[in-house]
Structures are given as C-alpha cells and as structure tokens.
Amino acid sequence: MIDLVQLRRDPETVKKSLARRGVSATTLDELISADVTHRSLMLVAENLRAQIKDLSRQVGEARRSKDSATADELALRSRELGDDERRAHETAEAAGIDVRNLLLDLPNLPSPDAPEGRDETHNVELRQWWPGMDDGQPFPSFGEHQRVAHWDSAKELGILDLETGAKLAGSMFPLYRGDGSRLIRALGAFALNAHADEYEEIRPPTFALTETMTSTGHLPKNSIEMYAIERDDLWAIPTAEVPLTSMLRGEIIDEQRLPIKMTALTACFRREAGAAGRDTRGVLRVHEFDKVELFAYCTPEQAQACFDDVLARAEGLLRALGLAYRVLDLCCGDLGTSAKRTFDLEVFSPGVDRWLEVSSVSWFGDFQARRANVRYRSSGAAPTLVHTVNGSALAWSRIWIAIIENYRNQDGSITIPSVLRPFFNGRELLRAQN
C-alpha cells in the first residue's frame, strides 16, 4: 500500500512515479477526490459524535444532581442526534472503504533506479556468470548428451514420475522418486545450511488465513492464483514470504533488533491459471514446488545492504552448484505489484535450451509494512514503518532441471555437484535405477 499522506502532499511526484508503471493520472485523481470526500464526511460524523458525548455527559451530571426534568430533556435531544450520527457514520465509513479499495489497487512506486520499460523485453541484463568464467573461459558450449530435455532423461533414470503425480493430484503436480527426490531434499538442506549463519531458520505453517494473505497483498487481487481450503478459511501459501512478512504483523519493534533476518524452506503452491500449454512440459512450471526464501525486516538505511546480501547469497548458491546464470534488473513494467526494485536470477539449462527463472530478489520499501503494520521505534521517537526485503535462494524445481540437464554425462548418468555429495553419502554419480 502506498502512502496516502504523500499522495496528498505531493500528487505530482506520485503520478510521475506510477506513470512509469502504466498507472494513469486519472486513477490517482480519482483516489485523491475520494479521499477528500471521505475526510469531509468523517468530519461531519465526528462533530455529531462529539455533541452526543457532550450531551450524555450533561445527562449524567443532571441525574447526579437529581434534576430529572433536565436530564430527560437532554437525553431526548441526544437521542435525536443519534439517528443523524448513525447515518453520517455509515456514509463516512462507506467513503473510507472506497478510498481503501482504490489504494489497495495501486502498485508500489518504483525505485528511481529501476529501468524504464513496459514489459519483460525491457529488462536489463546486468551480468552473466558461468563456471570457469573467472579463469577466462568462454560461455560453455554444450555436448549432445546435455541437449536432452529433463522430461526424457529423468524418466529414463527413473527419478521423475509425472504420470503418477498426475494420478494423485492432477497434472503439474510432479512426483520425484529415488535420487530425484533425494536431490530436491539435498538442495533444500544445502541452502538452509548455507544461510543459517545469519538467518534464523523458520518452519512456518503451509497454510495461511485470509487475514494473513490480505496483509501481504496476495488477496484480494490474486485469489485465482491460489489454492483455497474454503471450509477452514485457509489458503495454500504461494511463497514463504507470506508467513514471514506477517510474523511481526501489527508489532512495534525495538530498533536494536533490526535487521531481523529469517530463512524458510516451504512448499509453494500456484494454480498457474491460464498458463496451461506454454512452458509447462516436465517440471518447467508446476503447481507445487519447494523453495528456500530469505527475508529481512530492516530500517530504510539498512535496506540496500540487506538487498545486496540476499542477492549475493542467491548468486553464491548458483556458483557453488556450478550453474551458468544471468542477473536481470526488472524494468518498471515488469515489477511485481509490491516491489520497488527487483533482480531476477535465471539459470541456463541446455536440454530445454533456455534461461530459467530461479530467484527473484526484491526490495519493497515500506509498501508491505504499511499494510501489515510493522513498525520500529528508535529510542523515544515515533514508530516508523520498517522496510522489507526478500528473495528466493532458491526455487528448486528449476534448479533440479538445470542440474539434470547440465550435469548429464554421455552414458546418461548425472554427475552430482560436489557441494551436494555429502547429502548422497559421498556418491558422485546418479545412475538409472530400477
């Protein structure tokens, strides 16, 4: 949620900033006038309320001094005002809901540093990295044995069973088996271990209440993207960002505690409505996948350092896994609703012959904190909204693809990246199993 006070004080700046992401000035003018209406209606209602309270106070005084004639008369007047007050209050409240709805619809102001652009074609590639690059080697050229899509090679190895997954939960719910399953587990454990030095490990609930989803901004807008368990008013989380952002909802944090850094490995659920058919072969796009998330609540001053740290950790994992990747600076038009700045990490996978998004690192400013009402206080000062930063490190279903495809050998076996071998009892190869 953007800052309404800022919009009031400096509408031009807000308009200019949001125009970069395609929000029209008319939309903002609408909000501004709704806000004016709301405030004037509120003033009317509050004045009536003040009069009623004053009269009621006088009734009490009259009663105490046994002047019941005056008391009755005052009570009657107050009662008459009551009907007006109720109506005024309802009108004002409705106007307030209008304002809130308009406000909830608006995306965050992009960072001044975010590149211009309407859609993903305008994203800026900042850099690439690949194994051996630091020693002057060129981008890897891949052999024919690596040009095999994972849906073929993994099936051959017996580590991915999409048919059985579909039998259990429908299409796009993958079932990994044997070493395929173990590889997923290894990746999650590897990442959590890597982050545990500075980030508190959290294992949150996989489901969240409507109230929680709303405070993170996932509801009401994105409801078709999420799985719901209506009977219990629960939603399957699309990312650990949801529970982590809400952990300190409504609280005022002592500045000394910031930054608060957390990491969590959870399943993530996405309905991918409308995505069927495109880029969905194998496990390119699935309804359920595991992801390790990094998250920080921080002061505005700490935000840049936190952002850099999350990005560095995500990149660090990719380097440790020996996978070629690139970093994209998302343009204004491609930013998620809540983000001010986002860097995506994409890994190259030769079998499907494309870059796969495996991480998204975002700085949200106080946008999420305003809705979730998370603030901090530095000694004596008024509470201030925190900033939030988060990023995946990493989303495993696509890393899994990249490993299966990049590390495929001529005989069809897969070389296990060295950092993962401890999770395979030291084994180096992943072979066909029966």
Partner RNA sequence: GGAGGGAUGACAGAGCGGCCGAAUGUACCGGUCUUGAAAACCGGCGUGGCGAAAGCCACCGUGGGUUCAAAUCCCACUCCCUCCGCCA
Residue with Cβ nearer RNA (102 or 429): 102
* Contact stretch for RNA (CB under 7 A) within 26-34, 40-48, 331-339, 408-416: 40-48
For position 39 contacting RNA by CB under 7 A, the verdict is yes
For position 56 contacting RNA by CB under 7 A, the verdict is yes
Please check whether residue 417 is in contact with residue 410, taking contact to mean a CB–CB distance below 8 angstroms: no
Residue with Cβ nearer RNA (11 or 82): 82
Residue with Cβ nearer RNA (84 or 225): 84
Nearest by Cα to 329 from 110, 19, 106, 23: 110
Residue with Cβ nearer RNA (56 or 171): 56
Please check whether residue 327 is in contact with residue 348, taking contact to mean a CB–CB distance below 8 angstroms: no
Question: C-beta of 235: minimal distance to RNA in Å?
Answer: 15
Question: C-beta of 269: minimal distance to RNA in Å?
Answer: 21
323-361: b (≥16 Cβ within 10 Å) or e: bbbbbbbbbbbbbebbbbbbbbbbbbbbbbeebbebbbb
Question: C-beta of 259: minimal distance to RNA in Å?
Answer: 21
For position 69 contacting RNA by CB under 7 A, the verdict is no
DSSP assignments along 248-292, one per residue = TTT-EEEGGGPSEEEEEEEEEE---TT-TTSS-STTSS-SEEEEE
For position 9 contacting RNA by CB under 7 A, the verdict is no
For position 61 contacting RNA by CB under 7 A, the verdict is yes
User: Rounded to whole angstroms, how far apart are CA atoms 306 and 217?
Assistant: 22
For position 300 contacting RNA by CB under 7 A, the verdict is no
For position 68 contacting RNA by CB under 7 A, the verdict is no
Strands (E), 68-185: 124-129
For position 252 contacting RNA by CB under 7 A, the verdict is yes
* Integer Rg of the chain from CA: 27
For position 42 contacting RNA by CB under 7 A, the verdict is yes
Inter-CA distances, 77 with 8, 57, 294, Å: 38, 13, 60
Choice from 18, 32, 52, 265 touching RNA (CB under 7 A): 52
For position 257 contacting RNA by CB under 7 A, the verdict is no
Choice from 16, 57, 127, 278 touching RNA (CB under 7 A): 57
Question: C-beta of 205: minimal distance to RNA in Å?
Answer: 12
For position 82 contacting RNA by CB under 7 A, the verdict is yes
Chain center to CA of 356: 19
Question: C-beta of 303: minimal distance to RNA in Å?
Answer: 20
Alpha helices in 25-65 (DSSP H): 25-64
Question: C-beta of 373: minimal distance to RNA in Å?
Answer: 8
* Contact stretch for RNA (CB under 7 A) within 275-283, 288-296, 374-382, 411-419: 374-382
For position 100 contacting RNA by CB under 7 A, the verdict is no
Please check whether residue 351 is in contact with residue 146, taking contact to mean a CB–CB distance below 8 angstroms: yes
Question: C-beta of 256: minimal distance to RNA in Å?
Answer: 12
User: Rounded to whole angstroms, how far apart are CA atoms 18 and 24?
Assistant: 8
DSSP assignments along 369-391, one per residue = HHHHT-EEE-TTSPPEEPEEEEE
List the structure tokens of 141: 């050229």
The footprint of RNA on this chain (CB under 7 A) covers a number of residues equal to 32
Please check whether residue 317 is in contact with residue 413, taking contact to mean a CB–CB distance below 8 angstroms: no
Task: Identify the bridge partners of residue 429 per DSSP, sorted by sequence position.
Answer: 415
Choice from 16, 24, 53, 357 touching RNA (CB under 7 A): 53
User: Rounded to whole angstroms, how far apart are CA atoms 73 and 66?
Assistant: 13
Q: How many Cβ atoms from other residues are within 10 Å of residue 105's Cβ?
A: 14
**Residues 383-402 close enough to bind RNA by CB under 7 A:** 383
For position 46 contacting RNA by CB under 7 A, the verdict is yes
For position 19 contacting RNA by CB under 7 A, the verdict is no
Q: What is the dihedral of CA 100, 106, 111, 112, to 10 degrees?
A: -110
Choice from 15, 32, 78, 269 touching RNA (CB under 7 A): 78
* Contact stretch for RNA (CB under 7 A) within 67-75, 190-198, 300-308, 361-369: 67-75
Residue with Cβ nearer RNA (74 or 358): 74
List the structure tokens of 131: 């194994």
Choice from 28, 55, 372, 394 touching RNA (CB under 7 A): 55
Residue with Cβ nearer RNA (82 or 158): 82
Question: C-beta of 383: minimal distance to RNA in Å?
Answer: 4
Chain residues that interact with RNA, rule: CB under 7 A? 4-5, 39, 42-43, 46-47, 49-50, 52-57, 59-61, 63, 71, 74-75, 78-79, 82, 252, 375, 377, 379-380, 382-383
